Structure 1
Amino acid sequence: MSVATCLLVAGTVLALASPARLEKGIVPSGPAKGAVERWFTAGSGPICSDARGAQGPCDLGRALAFRTFYDAGGTNALVFALYSRAVGNSVTRAVAQFRRAGQDWTVVRPVTGVYGEGPDSLSFEGGRATFTMNALMPGDALCCLTGKQRYTLDLATGAVTAGPKTASQVSPSSGKRSFAPRPEGYEGATYTHNGSEVLVDERAGIIRYQVPKASIRIAVSKGTVLFRGTFAASGEVTGTAYVFKAGCEPAPYAVSGRSDGSTIILKGIAPRRDPNSCAVTGTTASGAHTILRFDEHPGDF
């Protein structure tokens, strides 16, 4: 039987899935570039907030990455925008559908109900767009999503159908789970720690100060590393934390604990300094640095 015959069933031509063309970068690109920029910055799409918490339209300086998928006919596009909604640099995703009428592209609607990281590919078929996202599974850290979830978008109505989450397969040779790739532009999720904002980059194994509270700015500044170590897929966290004092080198000490994806708690025997110098005179199991707690800002993953 020929291929043409296989495509004819009861006089109907079956539609084949058409892989979408992907344009990606830190700014919108491709034929719908202008429409995507207007959607992102006009206030009808993503909303951002300033240092005082006031909300308003985003500017392109908040964008981390755009992924725009175009269908083969050049009439439909689906945009996935990764951006920093707040000054603290938390990562947020927005999805929107665009359509071309004549020479002009316009936004059709925001697409809601899509979660996770990705997608790396997408197909248009029979008035629908189908794609797979890396999904958050129980126990996952936000850097390292180990699940998959398939979505279907009805281009006529905007209805999104989500399939079940499935765990990534364990590699028989290594026994390790495969992790999703880091999103473009990702620098870490924003957490709070004792009144300061910190960035937690679990894949790099680093926690650094983003906005230190006023009382410690004499000793630490933006970018100062507070923890360096390893975040395991199981949620176990191990490494080295640091105690700071103005004019002194950071004092390291071993810590360990767990991350549940939104809260990190680390414990260790902390250094004790001489109050009149930089000297470390001993250790303590009951001081303020023996338990470190980090709570994540609400996010969209």
Structure 2
Amino acid sequence: MSRATSILLRRAAGVAVGLALAAPAAPASARASLADAIQRWYRTDPAIVCVSPQGRPSRCPLSDDLTTNVSLDPAGTAAVVFLTWLTDPTGNAEGTAAAVFRDGPDGWRITRRLPGIHAKPAGKVVFRGDTATFTIEAMRPDDARCCPTGRKAVRVDLR
């Protein structure tokens, strides 16, 4: 698959999840879907912030600029989720965040934020037992901030 096709497919997937995230939240008595849990995380996590046109910190809006990358484990009970969004409406700065979600009796919920992950995934997430392994983009010493060329392997406990 070409890089352009891959980017288009990721954007289409992000828009589809973005549309699901824009749907009204389910009543508290209903089981939370994964999209509901991701939306709650995006809207409430204090580490996910944007900057207003006036330069002040603000909550990030749900928009086409939000890209969601979701990888489910084979059993469909755990997910590793990466978010990428534009943090500044006047420029091209991106924010990234990652977290682990689990499905339980009340539905999906975030179980662990991955605070050290500040880059986009650079491949598939591989699940083995209670761990997920993936590669993220990493800055090399001579890289421009826009364009990391390095890769870093990450292993995450899903429990």
TM-score of the pair, normalised by structure 1: 0.40
> Are 2:82 and 2:120, in contact at CA under 8 Å, matched by a contact in 1?
no
Q: How does 1:132-151 map to 2 (within 5 A)?
A: 132-151=135-154
Tell me which protein shows more helix as a share of its residues.
Answer: 2
Is 1:155 aligned to residue 144 of structure 2? no
Q: Give the distance between the partners of 2:94 and 2:58, measured in 1 at CA.
A: 17
What percent identity do the matched residue pairs reach?
29
SS at match of 2:63: helix
**Number of aligned positions between the proteins:** 135
User: Which residue identity is paired with 2:132?
Assistant: A
Q: Which runs of 5+ in 2 are unaligned?
A: 1-9, 21-32
Q: Give the distance between the partners of 1:122 and 1:132, measured in 2 at CA.
A: 8
> Are 1:130 and 1:151, in contact at CA under 8 Å, matched by a contact in 2?
yes
Match of 1:224 in 2: none
> Are 1:27 and 1:60, in contact at CA under 8 Å, matched by a contact in 2?
no
Whose Rg is larger? 1
User: Which residue identity is paired with 2:71?
Assistant: F
Match of 1:119 in 2: 122
How far does the alpha carbon of each residue in 1:244-275 deviate from its partner, in whole angstroms, 9 at most, with x for none? Answer: xxxxxxxxxxxxxxxxxxxxxxxxxxxxxxxx
Q: Give the distance between the partners of 1:40 and 1:115, measured in 2 at CA.
A: 15
Structure 1's 85 and 65: CA in aligned 2 closer, same or farther, altered over 3 A?
Answer: same
Q: Give the distance between the partners of 1:48 and 1:103, measured in 2 at CA.
A: 30
User: Which residue identity is paired with 1:104?
Assistant: G
Structure 1's 44 and 107: CA in aligned 2 closer, same or farther, altered over 3 A?
Answer: farther
How big is the alpha-carbon RMSD for the aligned residues of Structure 1 and Structure 2? 2.5
Q: Give the distance between the partners of 1:46 and 1:63, measured in 2 at CA.
A: 14
How far does the alpha carbon of each residue in 1:2-46 deviate from its partner, in whole angstroms, 9 at most, with x for none? Answer: xxxxxxxxxxxxxxxxxxxx9931353785112111211234561
Structure 1's 144 and 67: CA in aligned 2 closer, same or farther, altered over 3 A?
Answer: same
Structure 1 residue corresponding to 2:14, chosen from 2, 16, 25? 25
